Each structure stands twice: as structure tokens, then as C-alpha cells.
Chains A and B, each alone.
Chain A
């Protein structure tokens, strides 16, 4: 090799190695989006990063347009007038948000307290607790938070660093059109032979006539009967992603929470009185309960004996045993998108049985936008707006529970916050934008754009409700008639054992992380429950409390 060639090779190698140094560069976009407007130096810029997942980014574009218009004559920085909101998108929060240009983050599946404890998130107690003073609204953002959200988002010393982004839950989506076509609504006499327009529908899980859930299964027993009738009429009752087992696991976690009600929170706080702990499971499947038991952090493992775990497992055991599912649900190559497409297209395909219900997160229609577009181009009345798809309220495990409010687990782990590295002169702008996004107008706009709600309590006006498609209406109905539980806590115990207490681990036993796997192996619900209830004991719990 000539001397020149040697030098060239050396320099080339050194340059290649130097590429790694880009990581030490100045803040950049987390992931660039197609939203790259020319920066107007006469205006203030605000960089906002949004998780481009189940709720998309359209809601943010809509809010941005209103915000920029509302503050076009306002000066947030000396010598500048008006605002440019520049939207970046992310597919997960970077570990070091300080190295990004984004000043506000909308994130999901985030361990918020990791960021708080590292000082990466700006404290925003002032804008959360003071009056909004926008659009004539005088209440504070905190007033719109339920106690459940306050308890998590407020640190133990009473400070706010973040706000909830959106709410999502795992549930069954059912095809109302198919239910009508095949007379799958339940009549007052318990027979599965009605249409939604019938005047003699059963009362549904809320136990009241004339409400959103009429004709839907009130109990697990009614649900099994419905599935049985479906199979007899050539309908596949349920479908789910065979590839990602956590879909069914989190759906079962939702059923468990619905059974437990407020007591479900004990799995995260490990404080309270448990009234639904299993003493014995009788041969007929009924349960003998233990006397009410006080749960403390010191003996939190006792909460794992909850009957909710057994009932949820037994629900799925019956579904699997009776094969109330579409065959693709057992195929480990079936992604969540495949399952969605199967569910949507099964009504039109001649080669497959129509599928009545889909186990999914409540955001799924957005993920299926391309399937909806394809269907629209091929079939009439196939859009989300025209099809009648809806969330099914959870049936109750026992007849005694019919009439109790739904308990909904918000699984999104979402949060909205300001990056602590934001420049001093831009804090006012960022805080104003945050406040703006939490006005009722913005919350309603979010619902209209995404078919989902943010993690705040607000009344959906009737005219807005009437504008919603069937799916969005069902989301509003279910939430309105339920209590939301966050599967997280702001305690040190929870934080220090974050991965152990993760919701996905709630049914994990040595038989399988996911109940579906354990059931495939032939274990019964009782066997899995017996493993799950003793997952922790006094000896194994101790180290979780230690330093």
C-alpha cells in the first residue's frame, strides 16, 4: 500500500469513527416530521413533540392553528410577535430529552417519574392549579382532573410536573351492523334474537333500560351464551393479535379491574381494605371470600389473592375451551393490524366467517386508517363514520355485580410536559400553550379529531356528542358511566419496583407471562390462579420493600 493510500485509509477510518461524535451535537428534532415550516425569526417558535401513535398528530395541527391565530398579535419574547408551533413526532420518548429541540412533549408509555427524578421535566404546578382564565373558563386544569389522576400526577410533596395526555383502555369492539344483521342483541327474556332497534332488549351490564348498553351481555354467562349463538349462526365471536399476547392479557386486566372496582388500585398503592380476596374456589366455580383484609405496603402481596384475577382468567378459559375465537387469533404471525383488518374485512370477504368482536386498545381505528381507506374505495358505507362499530361495556363476572359502574383501566401511561431545558424566555409561551390545550374547547376538539378523550373530566356537549361517529360515542358512553383507574402510583415502593408491578405482569406465573400461553398449555383457570395468588409471599415481598 502506498504512503498516500495509507494516509487516506487512516483518515477515512478516523472520519468513520468520528461519526459517533454526532451524538454530542446540539439539540435536534427527536424525529423529524413532514412539518418543517420555514422559521420566521420575527415570531417566537415553540417546538412540540408528539407521540405519533394511536391518536395521530392531526389533533395537534388543529390546536396549533387555533393557538397561532389567537396569539398572532401577542409578544412572548422581546422583539417578536406571534407564534410558530413546530411539530415533531416521536415513536417513544428519547432517554435524554435534553438533547432534543422539543420544548413540549406528548408521550405515551412513559415512566414519568424517571424523568421527574432526573430533573428533566419543568415544574408546572402554577399553571395546573391557577384559574385557566381562557375562553371565559375560570376553573383550573386541576379541577378537571379526577382524584385518580391527581394522585398520580401530583408528587408526594404536592407538585405537578406533567399532565395526562390521552386515555386508552383494552376492550372489546363489536360490530353493531353484524349484531343487527344476525339478531345478536339479547332480549329481555335472555334470548339472543334481537336487533338494536328492538323495544324489548335486556338491560345490559348497567342494569337499566333505555341506556347505551341495552341488549349487550350483562354477565359472563350471557356473554358465553352470546358467543354460542354466534358460532351457531356462522359468526366467529372474537379475534385478537396472536403475535402480541399482551393484547389479551391487558384485556383480562381490564376485566379484573372491572370486577374489583376501586379495590383494583390496591395493586399499585398496596393500601386499603380488600373485600374480594379468595379463600376457596368451590367446585361449582363460585368463590368463598376471606373476611375483609387490611392491605398495607408491608404485606401488599395479599392483594394478589383477589377474585378478580380468577374471574378474568376463567372468562378467557371458557373462551379458549369453547373455541369462541377466529382461528387467526391463535396464529403467532397475526399482528394487531392483521387482526384489525380481519375484523373489518370479514363482513365483506366470502371466504371467511364474519367476526363479531375484536380485542383491542380503544385507539385502534386510527391504526386502521389505511384499511378503512381501502374499504371505502371498494365498498359502500364502509368508512368509520358509516360503519357502526362500538366499544362493548365489560360484562360483569357475577349477576350480583350487574348495575355497578364500569371500572376502566387507563393503560396509556401517557403524559404531557415541558422539557426542563427550555429557555427561560420561552417558558411563558410553553405554559400558555399547555393551558390552551386544556381548555374545554381543546379537549372537545381532541375528541372530535381522535375519537378518544384526554385524561380529564369534562362534559361532552350534546351537539358535539351528536356529531360523533358510533365508535366515539361508545367511548364517551363507557367513560361517562365508569370510573377510571390508573395502573400506577407515585409511591417510592411502586417506582422502585416499576417493572415488577407493570400491568402486563399482573397474570404472569411460571406457567406463562400471558394467560393465553398458559391456557394453550392446558392449564385451567383455577390452576393459573393458584399460581398467581401466591406469586409473592412474605419472604419474597420483603426484598421489594428493601433498599
Chain B
């Protein structure tokens, strides 16, 4: 009898907990269903649709269009100059991000981790772009490279105004604004390293470079991998802050795939969405395996902690 009472009590408690848990997660789940699954499903569906207008009722609706959007996409890839450019720029941005951005972020993080002279100020300076609104940062940067630099070096055009330097100036900005988050995470990861490990390496006569390569980097490698994989996944969606600089008017030779799609969506009519959705699907089909492969490679080739 007592056992039954106890069982009933626990059953009721479990039910209450279940209800509570359901209430807590139901809204996020609904949101996830609508704004992630629903949106993406609709986007995939749209890649196989066209927009038809009924000229009697003046109403439009999406209708099945087979694979015609894909055919048109391949046609555009063949004939439009913008797309190869955008693809090339996306790859350059990715390589610079990985090669220069991540390397410098690791060096700066080490500098901060080691508490070298002015490291706190340095951290604040590098983190500032992440706190400020991107429009504010872009405006400051524009004024610096367009007004101050030409004044100092007596140039005819600023770095953004000069066609020869503007892509470089944009890459520099992209790297600069990306430091904040990376440094915060890398230096945070470095701070979790047991000081006795580093102390022991020092006692064994390890140079600072050896200490970094053999102790610190292997220990924070999972964090670095996460960033690198995120970068690979963003290869075709990175818009290099172009919208903040140029709104819809960035020149073709500056565009990345991410900006190209964002801009097109921004200026398109409803009838043009299906083609853009087709690009979205195609880019996902390219980016997903690359990301998975990149993850696998990074996990297998990186420095080991043993």
C-alpha cells in the first residue's frame, strides 16, 4: 500500500516535471520549426518553382517549375561575369581569414595571455569593433582611409576610393573586425591551461616559440578547429561587410557570393526569388561536404596533446 502511494507520488511528480519541461521548450521548438525548418524547407521548395501572375485577378502565386531554375543558374554561371568574380573573392576572403586572420588572432591572444606590456589596452582596441555597431565602425574606418590616410601621405584618392587598393582595404577591415571574438575565445582557452604545464616546459628549457607550438596550440586546438570549421562553413556566405560599405552598390569585382545573394534578394521582385533560392540550394550542396571534409581533416591532422 505504501509502495503504491510512493509510486503514485513519483508518477505525479514526473508528470509535473514533464509538463514543466514541455512548457519551457515548446516555444523554442515552435520557433525552430517555423523560422528554421519552415524557412529552409520553403527555400528548397522555391528552387523548383516559378512565379506566375494571373492577369485577370492580378494575383501571383508560385508554381512547380521542375529543374528549369537550375538550368538558368548554370546558364548564368556560364555567361555572367559577376559570379566567377564573386566566387574568386569568396575564396580569397576565406584564405586571408584563415591564413592571416587566424594566425594574427593567435599571436595577439598569446600576447594578451602572457600579459605583456599594454595587453589590456591592446585587447580593448581589438575588441572595440565587436562592441560598436558595424555602421559606426565602417564610418570611422572610411573616414580614416579616405580622409586621414590621403592627407598624411598626400594621395589623390583614399584607399577605398583608389580602385587598386580598395579590395585590400576591405580585406583589412574584415580581418580587423574579426579579431574581437577570436581573441576573446582564444585567450579564454589559453587561460584554462594549467600554469604548471607551462612552468614545466619552461624548466625543461622550451623557448617561447616551442612553448606556443608544443604546449599552448595543442591544448587550444579544439577551439581553433571550431573557428576554422565555422570559417569553412561561411565560405560562400561571407559578405565581407560590403553591405555596410556600399549598400546595394558594391562593384562586381568586390562582391563575394554572400554579398551577391544578399544584394540580389534585397533588390529582387517576388518573381526573382526562385532563382535565388536555387543558388542557395546549390551553394549548400557545395559548402556542406567541404565543411564536413574540412572538419575531418582538421581533426585528424592537428597537433595532439599527448
Contacts and interface: CB of A to CB of B under 8 A. Distances in A.
Interface of A: 7, 10-11, 13-14, 17-18, 20-21, 111, 113-114, 116-119, 155-157, 159, 161, 242-246, 330-334, 492, 495-499, 502, 504, 508, 510, 512-514, 517, 520-521, 539-540, 543, 546-547
Contacts of B203: none
A546 B68 CA distance: 9
Contacts of A547: 50, 65, 68
Nearest to B26: A14
B42 interface: no
B19 interface: no
B18 to A, nearest CB: 13
A498 B55 contact: no
B139 interface: yes
24 contacts: A14-B27, A17-B31, A20-B35, A111-B269, A117-B51, A117-B53, A117-B270, A118-B60, A156-B55, A244-B247, A246-B249, A330-B157, A331-B150, A331-B158, A495-B271, A496-B269, A496-B271, A499-B267, A504-B248, A510-B82, A510-B253, A540-B79, A543-B76, A546-B72
Contacts of A113: 269
Give the most central of A10, A114, A332: most B CB within 10 Å.
A332
Contacts of B158: 331-333
Contacts of A514: 249, 251
Contacts of A502: 267
A161 B58 contact: yes
Given A114-B269, A242-B146, A498-B268, 11 more contacts: A20-B31, A117-B59, A117-B270, A119-B59, A242-B161, A331-B146, A332-B161, A495-B269, A504-B249, A510-B81, A540-B79
A332 B24 CA distance: 50
Contacts of B72: 543, 546
B147 interface: yes
Contacts of B287: none
Contacts of B252: 508, 510, 512-513
A405 B163 CA distance: 38
B160 interface: yes
Given A114-B269, A117-B60, A332 B250 contact: no
A497 B27 contact: no
B103 to A, nearest CB: 29
Given A117-B53, A242-B161, A539-B79, A498 B68 contact: no
Contacts of B271: 495-496, 498
B59 A14 contact: no
B142 interface: yes
A520 B157 contact: yes
Contact of A333 (B25, B143, B248): B143
B146 A21 contact: no
A492 B272 CA distance: 12
Interface residues of B, number: 53
Given A243-B142, A333-B147, A497-B272, A513 B27 contact: no
Contacts of A508: 252
A29 B35 CA distance: 23
A544 to B, nearest CB: 10
A243 B58 CA distance: 39
Given A117-B60, A161-B58, A513 B79 contact: no
A543 B75 contact: yes
Nearest to A121: B58
Interface in B30-59: 31, 35, 50-51, 53, 55-56, 58-59
Nearest to A542: B75
Contact of B142 (A10, A332, A496): A332
A107 B75 CA distance: 36
A118 B273 CA distance: 14
B24 A520 contact: no
Given A513-B251, A514-B249, A17 B28 contact: yes
A288 B243 CA distance: 41
B264 interface: yes
Contacts of B157: 330, 520
Contacts of B200: none
Contacts of B163: 517, 520-521
Contacts of B272: 496-499
